[in-house]
Chain A
Amino acid sequence: MLDEISLELFEHLALLAALQLGPDETVYLHQQLNNQLRVIQALADIPLADETPITSHGVPFTAQTSPELRADIWEPCADAADILAQAPRLRDGYIVAPGIPHTTLE
């Protein structure tokens, strides 16, 4: 039995993804997601031993090849103004955001 992404689940995903989709986009994206999912489900048929490890990076990073981490020291940011200048709305050096609604977690 192949999984399929229902329209209800699709709309939930869109909400979680912070996407507000139009009707045409919804039809296209929903169809393409399910087309891709049919391909992805080929993974289920691949024989895999339980002890098969995951690979997060193809190339192993060993102690010898991993770069040394930089010292954890405070340094002034030379271009803070340039970075802040990218924000659409600024006031007194702060990014302006609309209201952030309070949510009570269950």
Chain B
Amino acid sequence: MELCDLSAYELALLLKQRKISAIETLDACLQRIEAVDGRPGALNFSDPQPDDSHRVHAFITLTAERARAQALEIDRRLAAGEDPGPLAGVPFTVKDIFCVKDTPTTAGSRILADFVAPYTATPVARLEAAGAVMLGKTNLDEFTYGSSGESSAFLPPTRNPWDPRRVPGGSSGGSAASVAAGEAPLSLGTDTAGSIRQPAAFCGVVGLKPTYGRVSRHGLIAFASSLDCPGPLARTVIDAALMLQVIAGPDSHDATAARVPVPDYISALEEGVRGLRIGLSPDYFRITFPDPETGALELQPLPAEIEAAVRQAADRLAALGAEIIEDVPLPNTRHGIPAYFVISRVEAASNLHRYDGLKYGYYDPARVDDVHKLYRKSRDAGFGIQPKLRILMGMYVSAAQYAEQYYTRALKVRTLIRRDFEQVFDPHGSYRLDALLTPTTPTPAFPMGALYGNSVLMQYADQLTVPANHAGLPGLSLPGGLSADGLPIGIQFLGPDFSEDRLLRLGRAYEQSTETEPWRAVRPKVLAG
């Protein structure tokens, strides 16, 4: 096994024991990137080349020299007998939606193609302060608007390491793919409707959406400010816990970063699941899809192999002493996407008004005599089709004459979704659940081009992840087996506010109980040689 295939936990331990250096680890990751990643995403995409179709293309910007300087500093501090931090020498990638001082920060959009961030986002700064080494910025759906990675203005788009003909998921597709392909053991992503958990499921890695307010959003380019959550992607539950430990907590630069103590996530990991009450809900075993002809919403059963993965996980947890509670009602789950279409668009439209061609970002070079013409020309050339779609819908559903009918109503439906969860997690209620166990996604990774362009079907890819965003709850996705096509299937734990420690504990117990399963030994196709 190469150094780049080790976990963050193992790498940090070996470094502290002086068995490896930060430079050796960095070089191993850079060699892996060289071997599997292919050309990075770029604005001026030339014709597709044969090599593109079997490469990962996780990156927009590789910051190898910056990483080398950081790794050398870690090795120097270690040699000097200093403590270089809990993640010393551990490489990580960053979704290119976070500002990192003096590096290009594009949001996957032409409008920010030349933007160089003047400051560093809090989660990135905390990772670097803990000794982690940033390798570069990963590709994503433009402004995080998508569930496949295909809407980035920077092409070629990221491909799924398990089958490069398929999408890695989105919007943190580059992050998930970089971790799955062994390019880095950790990545920092964001989750607004499932953008950490869905690509984690598609790429066979662990993805954690923390409670809203658990991790600071300072330095995150905003999509929907009441829903956006930064969080870890990793190959193991321990690594996700290590990363959350570093990035969680209040921040004087973010008034929504909650003043809630951060527990010791690591020490709780091995406490087991005996006595925990885990719920299964029929509302997560049927899925909604719009009829392609009429648009009418129809209920369908979940694909059998995905339901089987969830039920097998429940059986394993039961064998470990957890109590499985069937038929837990979460009837408002199916309203998650209609409400999201409204709330996220209103917030996105508001957040995107700042891009005007004047202060920073793309501007139209034609000399015009009217500032409004400059706005229109710059925004038309700078934004791709997905931001435009979100701006227009956001303006429509929040207009004075429609706001009560759409926006206010969606915010009330959000209350119903939140109440569903409050009732089943209420320690004095009928269900008294410690967590829910659900599938992460309605399908495994779909082929590239299969949904892109159909904005409704694409949004429904998030239907099992978005309720947690509406409710603000934490959600953990982890690998739960392989489909008949050899694609990863994700299972998801959901819990009450700030219960990340419990979700990680459940995830760790499940992970340990499946360690010897044959599917655990299967590697992504791009690594198969």
Chain A residues with a Cβ under 8 A of chain B: 5, 9-10, 13-14, 16-22, 25, 28-29, 32-33, 35-44, 46, 48, 52-59, 61, 64-70, 79, 82-83, 86-89, 95, 97-101
Q: A57-B212, A97-B371 are in contact. Are A46 and B413 (CB under 8 A)?
A: yes
- From B259, B415, B471, give the contact of A65 (CB < 8 A): B259
- B295→A54 contact, CB < 8 A: no
Across the two chains, which residue of chain B brings its CB closest to A21? B380
* Assembled-state Cα–Cα distance A40/B375 (Å): 29
Within B317-364, which residues are at the interface with A (CB < 8 Å)? 332, 335, 337-339, 341-342, 349, 356-361, 363
B332 partner residues in chain A, CB cutoff 8 A: 46
Q: A42-B297, A67-B258, A98-B369 are in contact. Are A79 and B341 (CB under 8 A)?
A: no
- From A5, A46, A67, give the contact of B252 (CB < 8 A): A67
- A52→B391 contact, CB < 8 A: no
- B258→A98 contact, CB < 8 A: no
- A25→B385 contact, CB < 8 A: yes
- A58→B372 contact, CB < 8 A: no
* Assembled-state Cα–Cα distance A67/B260 (Å): 9
Other contacts beyond A17-B392, A21-B380, A88-B358: 4, CB < 8 A: A20-B380, A32-B456, A88-B363, A97-B358
Taking the closest CB of chain A, its distance from the CB of B351, in whole angstroms, is 13
> Which secondary structure dominates where chain B touches chain A?
helix
B410 partner residues in chain A, CB cutoff 8 A: 40, 43
- B360→A87 contact, CB < 8 A: yes
Most chain-A CB neighbours within 10 Å: which of B338, B339, B395, B416? B338
Q: A54-B414, A87-B360 are in contact. Are A33 and B259 (CB under 8 A)?
A: no
- From A19, A39, A57, A70, give the contact of B456 (CB < 8 A): A39
- A58→B470 contact, CB < 8 A: yes
* Assembled-state Cα–Cα distance A57/B256 (Å): 10
Q: Is B290 an interface residue (CB 8 A)?
A: yes
Of the A-B pairs whose beta carbons lie under 8 Å apart in the complex, a sample of 25, sorted by A's number, is A9-B396, A25-B388, A32-B389, A38-B290, A39-B337, A39-B341, A40-B410, A41-B338, A46-B409, A54-B408, A54-B411, A54-B415, A55-B412, A57-B213, A58-B469, A59-B213, A59-B258, A65-B260, A67-B251, A67-B254, A69-B255, A86-B116, A86-B360, A98-B369, A99-B371
Taking the closest CB of chain B, its distance from the CB of A25, in whole angstroms, is 7
A58 partner residues in chain B, CB cutoff 8 A: 212, 226, 414, 418, 469-473
Within B52-106, which residues are at the interface with A (CB < 8 Å)? none
- B413→A98 contact, CB < 8 A: no
A19 partner residues in chain B, CB cutoff 8 A: 376, 379-380, 383, 388, 391-392
Across the two chains, which residue of chain B brings its CB closest to A15? B376
Q: Is B211 an interface residue (CB 8 A)?
A: yes
Q: A65-B258, A67-B259 are in contact. Are A97 and B415 (CB under 8 A)?
A: no
Across the two chains, which residue of chain B brings its CB closest to A51? B412
Taking the closest CB of chain B, its distance from the CB of A3, in whole angstroms, is 8
- B412→A57 contact, CB < 8 A: no
- A53→B412 contact, CB < 8 A: yes
* Assembled-state Cα–Cα distance A18/B392 (Å): 10
- A82→B341 contact, CB < 8 A: no
Q: Is B250 an interface residue (CB 8 A)?
A: yes
- B415→A55 contact, CB < 8 A: yes
- A86→B118 contact, CB < 8 A: yes
- Mark interface residues in B368-403 (1 if CB within 8 Å of A CB, else 0): 111111111101100101001101110111000000
- Mark interface residues in B412-436 (1 if CB within 8 Å of A CB, else 0): 1111101000000000000000000
- A66→B255 contact, CB < 8 A: yes
A35 partner residues in chain B, CB cutoff 8 A: 290, 295, 454-456
* Assembled-state Cα–Cα distance A66/B404 (Å): 29
Across the two chains, which residue of chain A brings its CB closest to B252? A70
Across the two chains, which residue of chain B brings its CB closest to A59? B472
- From A33, A66, A97, give the contact of B396 (CB < 8 A): A33
- From B118, B258, B454, B473, give the contact of A66 (CB < 8 A): B258
Across the two chains, which residue of chain A brings its CB closest to B497? A59
- B395→A16 contact, CB < 8 A: yes
- From A33, A41, A83, A99, give the contact of B118 (CB < 8 A): A83
A9 partner residues in chain B, CB cutoff 8 A: 396
Q: Is B115 an interface residue (CB 8 A)?
A: yes
A97 partner residues in chain B, CB cutoff 8 A: 358, 371, 374
B396 partner residues in chain A, CB cutoff 8 A: 5, 9, 13, 33, 37
Across the two chains, which residue of chain A brings its CB closest to B363? A88
- B472→A20 contact, CB < 8 A: no
Most chain-A CB neighbours within 10 Å: which of B372, B470, B472, B497? B372
